[in-house]
């Protein structure tokens, strides 16, 4: 019997139902080149272990140790892992580059990264290129999607598409330049995602509380200006 490629494709397209609690955890992308000018040719970046070794080496040059990526080879870390003030200061300085905190606060962009979707303790979806902490708005909008016409859910590129069908909210990976090679589809109840969005807001509040004293020391600013800076960094 010939191999049925269409049947295989349809099997891959079968949505994975997330029937337990889901969590959206904020993550920051610590791009290694922002922390050290290290020869990447010394590392085998084509494999996750090599990419992670390069990442750790660059962070170490900036005095950052003890952080783990959200998965092997990733440059994302969970925001709640950033608790040390010196590490937060290094991350803030790398984000602002050499300019420091500008006089015009509108020039401040949100931290690069976004939100990782966790189900039953397992990483299901993570941000993609050019995502940031402001993308929580997109996840909140997805909760309110009310029909079966797919809409974009921006987490960077490639992005996601989202639609509602028979009470289930479907979220599908989109391809860009052929990646990911096997786009996945998941589905969950809108109420699950709504709760995850609310918890993500709480995670951001906690992160903001740790970030404020670091921003205040860098900006030498009164509390109102410090709060405004933190809000921008969190994409609000």
DSSP-assigned states of every residue in 73-90 = T--EEEGGG---HHHHHH
Number of domains in the chain: 1
> Would 60 be classed as within a structural domain?
no
> Would 51 be classed as within a structural domain?
no
The tens digit of pLDDT for each residue in 166-204 reads 999 999 999 999 889 999 999 999 999 999 999 999 999
Q: Which residue segment(s) compose the domain that 149 sits in? A: 9-30+67-233
> Would 50 be classed as within a structural domain?
no
> Would 62 be classed as within a structural domain?
no
The tens digit of pLDDT for each residue in 119-174 reads 999 999 999 999 999 999 999 999 999 999 999 999 999 999 999 999 999 999 99
Compute CA distances 134 → 36, 131, 181, whole Å: 26, 8, 27
Integer Cα distance of 15 and 119 in angstroms: 14
């Amino acid at each position: 019997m010939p191999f049925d490629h269409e049947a295989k494709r349809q099997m891959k397209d079968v949505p994975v139902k997330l029937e337990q609690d889901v969590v959206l955890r904020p993550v920051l992308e610590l791009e290694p080149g922002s922390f050290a000018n290290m020869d990447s040719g010394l590392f085998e970046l084509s494999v996750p272990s090599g990419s992670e070794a390069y990442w750790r080496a660059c962070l170490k040059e900036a005095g950052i140790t003890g952080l783990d990526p959200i998965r092997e080879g990733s440059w994302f870390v969970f925001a709640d892992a950033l608790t040390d003030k010196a590490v937060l200061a290094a991350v803030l300085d790398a984000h602002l580059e050499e300019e420091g905190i500008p006089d015009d606060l509108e020039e401040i962009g949100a931290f690069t990264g976004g939100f990782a979707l966790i189900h039953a303790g397992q990483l299901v979806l993570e941000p993609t290129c050019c995502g940031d902490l402001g993308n929580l708005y997109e996840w909140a909008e997805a909760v309110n999607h009310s029909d079966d016409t797919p809409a974009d859910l921006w987490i960077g590129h490639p992005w996601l598409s989202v639609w509602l069908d028979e009470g289930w909210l479907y979220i599908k990976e989109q391809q860009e330049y052929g990646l990911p090679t096997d786009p996945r589809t998941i589905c969950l109840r809108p109420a699950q995602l709504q709760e995850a969005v609310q918890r993500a807001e709480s995670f951001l509040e906690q992160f903001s509380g740790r970030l404020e004293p670091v921003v205040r020391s860098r900006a030498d600013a009164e509390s109102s200006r410090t709060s405004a800076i933190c809000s921008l960094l969190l994409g609000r």
